[in-house]
Structure formats: structure tokens, C-alpha cells
Amino acid sequence: MSTPESAGSPATFDVSSRYGPPRRGLSPRAQRVLIFGSLLVAFATTVWFTISLSIGRLDYQDVGYTIVSDSRAEVDFEVTKDFEDTAQCMLHALDDSYAIVGARIVTIGPHEGSGDADRSSYYSAELRTEHRAVTGIVDSCWLVD
């Protein structure tokens, strides 16, 4: 029969001899440096995304519409873009069931300006319709290369 000492009892079994000594954690100074570095990288990434998203950005919104007759509608809209960019916008005239009764693509070329406030301009475009429209909208706008 074997004795408890020879069978590897918990009193004689040493885990560190099998797996090595326990790992040491980071020192408090190393932890502070790691946290500060992570915060710095997060801040730099946020600044980079903010700047890169504002360059080459195109925004548009409906301002109003006028139903001129049964076969014409006029859409007023605002476009915000960089001065040197050319954009195209798809305009729709809709009837009371939201069906498209008129459509037009409008090209907006480069324009002059010096500040952020000058990036926005108001436009008005006339659309021919198949029958009487009840509203006019800007469906989408995109930059032209």
C-alpha cells in the first residue's frame, strides 16, 4: 500500500513547481502610463474623425415648395457643400398618395465664399409633373467627381 506522502497529498504537492511562480501585475506607474496613453489615443482618434467627417461633407434640406399648376411644381432647398465641389440633387414632386409625379436632377456647381457660413446656399428649381402634385422634396444629393 502507498502512503499519503507518496500519493501526492495536498500537503506535499507544490503547484508552483508544476506551473511556475505566479505572474506579477503591472506596477502602479506602468498602469498610469497605460491609462494616459489610451486616453491620448482616444482623444486623437476623436479629433481625427471630427475633422475628416467635416471635409467633403454634403448636407441638404427642403425649405419649401410651390404648386404652380397641374403640370408644374417648384421646390426650394438648401445645399451645404465645400466651395470647389459640384453636387447633383434629385428633386421629386409627389401627389397625395406619395407617388412620384415629377422628378428632376439639378446640378449645383462650385461657388465663391470664404467662411463656413458661405458653404450653404439656397436654390429653387421647377419640375414638370404628370398631374397635380401636393408637395415637392429633395430626395437625395451626391457629390460629382
Q: The domain that contains 101 carries what CATH number?
A: 2.60.120
Low-confidence ranges of the chain (pLDDT < 70): 1-16, 54-56
Q: Are 131 and 65 in contact (CB under 8 A)?
A: no
Taking the complete model, does pTM exceed 0.95, yes or no?
no
Residues whose CB falls within 8 Å of the CB of residue 133, separated by 6 or more in sequence, listed in order = 67, 73, 93, 94, 95, 101, 102, 127
Q: What is the pLDDT of residue 145?
A: 81
Q: In what order do the strands lie in the sheet with 120-128?
A: 59-69, 72-80, 120-128
Tally of domains in the chain = 2
Domain with 120, as residue range(s), is 59-144
**3-state DSSP assignment of residue 28:** helix
- pLDDT, position 127: 95
In this structure, is residue 19 part of a structural domain? no
So what's the pLDDT on residue 87? Answer: 93
* DSSP letter, residue 117: G
Question: Residues 120, 79: one domain?
Answer: yes
